[in-house]
Amino acid sequence: MGRLWDKGQSIDALTQRYCAGIDWRLDQDLLPFDIQASAGHAKGLAELGVLSRKDLSKLRKALAELTSRWEAGTFRTTEEDEDGHTAIELALTRSLGDLGKKIHTARSRNDQVGAALRLYALDRLGAVSDAALDLAQACLQLARHWEKVPMPGYSHTRRAMLSSAGTWAGAFADQLADDLALLAAGYALADRSPLGSAAGYGVPLPIDRESVAAAAGFSGIQDNVLAVQNARGRIEAVILSALSYLMLTVNRFCNDIVWFSSEEFGFFVLPARFTTGSSIMPQKKNPDVFELSRGAYAFVSACEHQVRETLLSLPSGYNRDTQLTKEPFMRGMAHAHATLAVLAHVVPHLEVDEKRCRAACTADLFATDEALRRVSAGVPWRDAYRQVAEQAGTWKVPDLDVALRLRSHAGGPGNLQLGKLAGRLARLRREWARR
């Protein structure tokens, strides 16, 4: 058996290699999802009468064996296969003869790859959400441990007002929870079966797309068959956009850690086992894991940009250009997951130097406190503001613990509402587990 589109005519070897690209390598990771979708499609063919019940049973058994072989590392795509779709059909034909040749009835490689990519996305988004929630939980735990540790707050990279280490850590747990809402939107878009849309114009057979979708592992279908085809790359771009926002949160988080753990600040302490050294400077303990994680935003955002730009100005229907969206999508997904996973592993071991944090809380942080003290004595705000500006440094540092407690409004350093945040993370965990 040749390639799925082979009509017996020869094709230039260089042209063929260029058009196939590295799809055959990428499809190695998509094989179990392609097999899963093929099992769902086979059920639809049986419902149409194209396959007998006995045929369906044989195909399902053969597909399950391919999954087992993939898990064992003995079912692999090759450059000669061109893609995973050919590898699967070739394997089925070898084991089942003519029955294996029936699997592609009423199906195009277009809805086939779309199904595999969407199922892959659902699987990987589950892993990404777990890692993101693990990191958010680690930040929440730091916030609980450091809730009463005073620390300077900054604006414009300058010392601003009293804050706390707990406020800092809790902020990122909160932001990661927001980012997961965006990720859920991408998940919902991917959780619609493209099977039955074929090359974007459906098939002249009454295939039950809803039944096929359920059998393949989707919650429903994407209705319009041309919209399915036009969505190739778009859903990937939406997911990468959500991942970019996650990495943007990570970028700021890691940048803070890099600076606040430096000798100049010394607020945070990185255990030595999570740092690296220098080949020339024996004293160095470098925060490489946080620097590389800080750079992950650029990596994932570039993948998103590559996917979106590939789609620009394409006409409706399938265009081979969209093949080029597969690699950046899979690379971006993998890199985002790896980044979140390593941070979830390292962050629980961060330490705070409370002495350094308290020592950094000098009188200038309390200018607003002093102005408000004068307001409480009857001085109009504008006058109090100007008086304090003119008399900078004439007041003393108050009791830091008392000063923190005074910031008692919802979400303030003296009332972080960590129980509410914990409940939110728990709800998100349950929601993702149900997907």
Q: What is the 3-state secondary structure (H, E, C) of the chain?
A: CCCCCCCCCCCCHHHHHHHHCCHHHHHHHHHHHHHHHHHHHHHHHHHHCCCCHHHHHHHHHHHHHHHHHHHHCCCCCCCCCCCHHHHHHHHHHHHHHHHHHHCCCCCCHHHHHHHHHHHHHHHHHHHHHHHHHHHHHHHHHHHHHCCCCEEEEEECCEEEEEEEHHHHHHHHHHHHHHHHHHHHHHHHHHCEECCCCCCCCCCCCCCCHHHHHHHHCCCEECCCHHHHHHCCCHHHHHHHHHHHHHHHHHHHHHHHHHHHCCCCCCCEECCHHHCECCCCCCCCCECHHHHHHHCHHHHHHHHHHHHHHHHCCCCCCCCHHHHHHHHHHHHHHHHHHHHHHHHHHHHHHCEECHHHHHHCCCHHHHHHHHHHHHHHCCCCHHHHHHHHHHCCCCCCCCCHHHHHHHCCCCCCCCCCCHHHHHHHHHHHHHHHHHC
Handedness of CA 330, 345, 253, 176 (dihedral sign): positive
Reported pTM = 0.94
- CA distances 233 to 155, 227, 301, 343, Å, are 39, 12, 15, 29
- Other Cβ atoms closer than 10 A to 99: 18
Strands 220-221 and 192-193: parallel
Decide if pLDDT at 400 tops 60: yes
- The mean pLDDT value for 41-45 works out to 98
- The mean pLDDT value for 199-206 works out to 96
Decide if pLDDT at 5 tops 60: no
pLDDT computed for residue 241 by the predictor: 98
pLDDT band, residue 20 (cuts 50/70/90): confident
> How much of the chain, in percent, has pLDDT values that exceed 90?
91
pLDDT computed for residue 16 by the predictor: 82
Decide if pLDDT at 430 tops 90: yes
The closest of 410, 416, 350 to 163, measured between CA atoms, is 416
Residue 293 annotated among the catalytic residues of the structure: no
pLDDT, tens digit (0-9, with 9 covering 90-100), for 114-148: 999 999 999 999 999 999 999 999 999 999 999 99
pLDDT, tens digit (0-9, with 9 covering 90-100), for 261-310: 999 999 999 999 999 998 899 899 999 999 999 999 999 999 999 999 99
pLDDT computed for residue 7 by the predictor: 58
Query: How is residue 47 written in tokens?
Result: 């419902």
pLDDT computed for residue 82 by the predictor: 84
Best-predicted range by mean pLDDT (12-21, 239-248, 392-401)? 239-248
pLDDT computed for residue 11 by the predictor: 80
The residue assigned the tokens 């728990």 is: 426
pLDDT, tens digit (0-9, with 9 covering 90-100), for 53-104: 999 999 999 999 999 999 999 999 998 888 899 999 999 999 999 999 999 9
Q: What domains are there in the chain, each with its CATH number?
A: 13-105 (1.10.275.10), 110-149+162-358+415-434 (1.20.200.10), 363-396 (no CATH)
First-last CA distance in the chain:
39
Decide if pLDDT at 210 tops 80: yes
What is the Cα–Cα distance from 94 to 354, expressed in whole angstroms? 68
Rounded to the nearest integer, the mean pLDDT of the chain is 96
pLDDT computed for residue 392 by the predictor: 84
pLDDT computed for residue 87 by the predictor: 95
What is the Cα–Cα distance from 423 to 292, expressed in whole angstroms? 31
- 44-58, 152-166, 325-339, 386-400: range with lowest mean pLDDT: 386-400
pLDDT band, residue 401 (cuts 50/70/90): very high
pLDDT computed for residue 383 by the predictor: 97
Name the catalytic one among 10, 156, 279, 409. 156
- The mean pLDDT value for 185-197 works out to 98
Name the catalytic one among 52, 68, 278, 316. 278
CA 378, distance to chain mean position in Å, is 52
Residue 278 annotated among the catalytic residues of the structure: yes
The single-letter code of the amino acid at 72 is: A
